[in-house]
Amino acid sequence: MESICHRTCILTAKKDIFALWHTYRIPIILSTFAVLITIRTILHLRVNRKRVSDTPPPASPSLQAAKEKAPVEYLEKKTNGEKVPRRIVGGLKKKKSSEENVVLGEKKIQVLVFFSSLTTTTEKTAKVFTEGLAKCTKDIASSTGTSFLEPEILDLSYIDYDDYFINPPKSDPGVQYFYLILIPTYNIDTVLDNYLEHLQETHNDFRIDTAPLSPLLGYSVFGFGDREGWPTEEEGFCSQARDVDKWMAKLTGRKRAFPLGMGDPKTDAVERLREWKEGVEDTLRHIAETGSLGEGVAGSGDAVESDVEDVDDEDDVLFEEQKVAKRKTKEKKGDLNDLEDLGGSIPKAEDEALEVDFTTYSKKPSTTTPTIKEMVPKNSPTYNSLTKQGYTIVGSHSGVKICRWTKSALRGRGSCYKYSFYGIASHQCMETTPSLSCSNKCVFCWRHGTNPVGTTWRWTVDAPDLIFSGVKAGHYQKIKMLRGVPGVRAERFAEAMRIRHCALSLVGEPIFYPHINEFTAMLHAEHISSFLVCNAQHPDQLAALAPVTQLYVSIDASNRESLRKIDRPLHRDFWERFNRCLDILRERRFEQRTVFRLTLVKGFNIDDEVEGYARLVEQGLPCFVEIKGVTYCGTSSSSSAGLTMQNVPFYSEIQAFVEALNAALEKRGLGYGIAAEHAHSCCVLIASERFRNARGRWCTRIDYEAFF
């Protein structure tokens, strides 16, 4: 009975609920709908109110506002006039990272002053400029509270570009860098050509970010030029400075801090440099106070001049993000526009049809062929520098010079190590090169960066017979100038007037010369033996080289990083080129005498490198290994380059290194031994056992009659 009553109660309750729902369902549904609409309205109003109250980004509020209004202006101009619609250029906007908006109060600013100089004029100016800048940064630091490190001056001839112009230095994450570049402009090949080539390759390298130097605070360039040779910018005044400014704008992501300065040292350079310095100092003060370069108008920081101001209003381009434009002067008749820009410049129906060349974005190319320059013109600073150092320049790219050992042998005071090792009399030896240009900037180079450098031959080529007769005449002329020197022996002087040996190791890269085989053939035709030294950076030329009396390869380091530091090669694939040259030498070891020349520089390539050198010997299997201590040739005038006497190893250190290397070679079972030494030259010879006779005596001297 109880269960029946319970079921009856449940049924009665359900009927009551359904009755209530049918009675009040319309008011309930309407009330629920009204509540939902109210909640939605409140949420929408709250979201809008929050956006209005947000503070704008601290970096550049006015610039942000301008960007937000840009689409409105675009629509208004599109509907109000009959003009051609504007083209919108730009891509996805990137939000500025927090690192770009960092407060500099917690960081340090390091100003780096780069310079290049052949005649030391720019170097002296850069030093005075840096000293004045150091005083200014101290004043800025005291007034703003921003910490400045002492400005550092760097010579472009002696730095590794990869350390500064692919990424900013990473020595201290708490330091932000500001670059200043002071350079002259020459009409000859200098280290600046390779510097510009490096900047261009870095920009065009798909493996590297578009703006790898964007972490810099900014940069500025000042150029020195000669208005006598190049009166205007169009004719080349300060052309290299303008090129550096262009590439730096691209690599830094448009961070030109102050306009490019230019001056002529003969007229207004001092005044222009003073104005530029004041502007740079004001910029540094602004950076110290605000933490950035500040705002800029459209086009600020672009690599080259824009032509926006030169076209009519209908041709204007509305920029969301500035796009690099081609350098362009005021428009002239016949100038061509970008294909996408032709909308406003298409002629009317009644006008004559316009002939358009779609293969170029700028002026029609000049019909004149570019003139091939000489490597060392007679009126160039390089020519003056090399002749001052005792060179006789032959033609446009060759040279000859008297060695100090030649003078010593003329007096009967002994010859260099070549006599002890190979039987070569120094007073009958001619030291020359058919190419003054090199592909390395070795730290121990005798020329301190005054000789030309390059990775490809791009100069006029002199005929081999002209070079051959020229170097012989230059050598004999220098010998004749010694006939009045006290101590010179008559018989030695007479012998010196007959060249028996030619050392192609003066400076530069002999195999760089396109006709090197013809030149060495002329030497051999007159029974002049040839020692040719290369830097292991031109494997193709080395493979094509005809046999010489003795072929040298400079082995200045045992690993990639050490070689990069000591030789400072211009080729990016320098290590691969180096190893290819060793493989070529291995293949030719039975065709001619091959030599590894190791130049040991204390602090660079001695410590813990014996095993590495032994591995290279095993790879190339040369006939001989010459181990020589670096020769001190004076400290470079550059503050950041050159060696001192601290880098010259003692002979005892050379001996210890040779013994360790010989032991490493014995351990590998390569069959080498210590054959000869010349203490005065700080040089020791390790030779292959092939040059030891049956009685155990070394036979390293050359049989010249058999060779010829």
CA torsion, ordered 78, 83, 84, 86, to nearest 10 deg: -50
pLDDT value of residue 671? 92
Percent of the chain with pLDDT over 70: 76
Q: How confident is the model at residue 349 (pLDDT cuts 50, 70, 90)?
A: very low
pLDDT of 352 over the 90 cut: no
pLDDT of 127 over the 80 cut: yes
pLDDT value of residue 611? 92
Low-confidence winner among 434-443, 492-501, 676-685 (lowest mean pLDDT): 434-443
Higher pLDDT, 249 or 293: 249
pLDDT value of residue 38? 86
pLDDT of 211 over the 60 cut: yes
Q: Taking the domains of the chain in order of start, what are their residue ranges?
A: 104-290, 391-707
Low-confidence winner among 249-258, 394-403, 485-494, 631-640 (lowest mean pLDDT): 631-640
**CA-wise closest residue to 463 among 510, 509, 412, 515:** 515
For range 565-593, the mean pLDDT: 90
pLDDT value of residue 1? 56
Q: How confident is the model at residue 631 (pLDDT cuts 50, 70, 90)?
A: confident
- The first and second tokens of residue 558, run together, are 């045992």
Helix axes 651-667, 610-620, angle to 10 degrees: 60
Alpha-carbon span 408 to 415, nearest angstrom? 7
Alpha-carbon span 311 to 369, nearest angstrom? 31
Task: Report the 3 state secondary structure along 281-345.
Answer: HHHHHHHHHHCCCCCCCCCCCCCCCCCHHHCCHHHCEEECCCCCCCCCCCCCCCCCCCHHHCCCC
Is the CB of residue 183 less than 8 Å from the CB of residue 224? yes
pTM metric for this prediction: 0.63
pLDDT value of residue 496? 92
The phi and psi torsions of 631 (rounded to 5 degrees) equal -90, 125
pLDDT value of residue 498? 93
pLDDT value of residue 367? 52
pLDDT tens per residue across span 615-628: 999 999 999 999 99
Higher pLDDT, 9 or 346: 9
pLDDT tens per residue across span 264-313: 888 888 999 999 999 899 999 999 988 888 765 565 667 766 554 443 44
**CA-wise closest residue to 404 among 436, 437, 438, 429:** 429
Q: Helix H segments across 497-567?
A: 516-525, 539-543, 560-567
Higher pLDDT, 365 or 461: 461
Go through the chain and tell me how many residues it has. 708
pLDDT of 177 over the 50 cut: yes
pLDDT value of residue 69? 43
pLDDT value of residue 345? 40
* SS3 at position 679: helix
Complete DSSP assignment for 421-433: HH---GGGEEEEE
Alpha-carbon span 704 to 707, nearest angstrom? 5
Alpha-carbon span 388 to 338, nearest angstrom? 52
pLDDT of 8 over the 70 cut: no
Q: How confident is the model at residue 707 (pLDDT cuts 50, 70, 90)?
A: confident
Q: How confident is the model at residue 332 (pLDDT cuts 50, 70, 90)?
A: very low
pLDDT value of residue 298? 61
Higher pLDDT, 633 or 111: 111
* SS3 at position 530: strand
Cα 84 from chain centroid (whole Å): 45
Task: Report the mean per-residue pLDDT for the chain.
Answer: 79
Q: What's the fold here for domain 104-290? A: Rossmann fold (3.40.50)
* SS3 at position 66: helix
Q: At CA 348, angle to CA 345 and CA 353, rounded to 5?
A: 80
Alpha-carbon span 5 to 698, nearest angstrom? 129
Q: How confident is the model at residue 642 (pLDDT cuts 50, 70, 90)?
A: low
Alpha-carbon span 182 to 223, nearest angstrom? 6
Complete DSSP assignment for 394-426: ETTTEEEE--HHHHHHHTTS---HHHHHH---G
The residues pairing with 431 across neighbouring beta strands, listed in sequence order, are 401, 503
For range 608-612, the mean pLDDT: 87
pLDDT value of residue 96? 46
Q: List Cα–Cα distances, 582 to 552, 577, 673, 685, in angstroms.
A: 11, 9, 20, 19
**CA-wise closest residue to 147 among 173, 178, 104, 108:** 108
**153-182 burial string, b = 16+ CB within 10 Å, else e?**
bbbbbbbebeebbbbbeeeeeeebbbbbbb
**CA-wise closest residue to 466 among 529, 510, 515:** 515
CA torsion, ordered 600, 601, 606, 611, to nearest 10 deg: -40
Q: DSSP secondary-structure letter at 375?
A: S
Percent of the chain with pLDDT over 90: 39
pLDDT tens per residue across span 41-52: 888 776 555 444
For range 460-465, the mean pLDDT: 94
pLDDT tens per residue across span 380-414: 888 888 888 888 999 999 999 998 899 999 988 88
For range 584-605, the mean pLDDT: 90
Cα 539 from chain centroid (whole Å): 22
Is the CB of residue 596 less than 8 Å from the CB of residue 626? yes
* SS3 at position 263: strand
Alpha-carbon span 309 to 298, nearest angstrom? 11
Beta strands in 493-541 (DSSP E): 501-504, 529-534
Helices and strands, number each (H, E), in the chain: 19, 18
For range 358-369, the mean pLDDT: 51
pLDDT of 129 over the 60 cut: yes
For range 306-327, the mean pLDDT: 41
Burial of 230 (0-12, 13-18, 19+ CB in 10 A): middle
Alpha-carbon span 345 to 368, nearest angstrom? 29
Is the CB of residue 229 less than 8 Å from the CB of residue 187? yes
pLDDT of 680 over the 50 cut: yes
Complete DSSP assignment for 193-235: HHHHHHHHHHHH-TTS-SSTTTTSSEEEEEEE--TTT--STTT
pLDDT value of residue 42? 82
pLDDT of 31 over the 80 cut: yes
**Other CB atoms closer than 10 Å to residue 685's CB: what's the count?**
24
Q: List Cα–Cα distances, 543 to 374, 511, 518, 616, 684, in angstroms.
A: 27, 10, 15, 19, 28
At the top level of CATH, the class of 391-707 is alpha beta
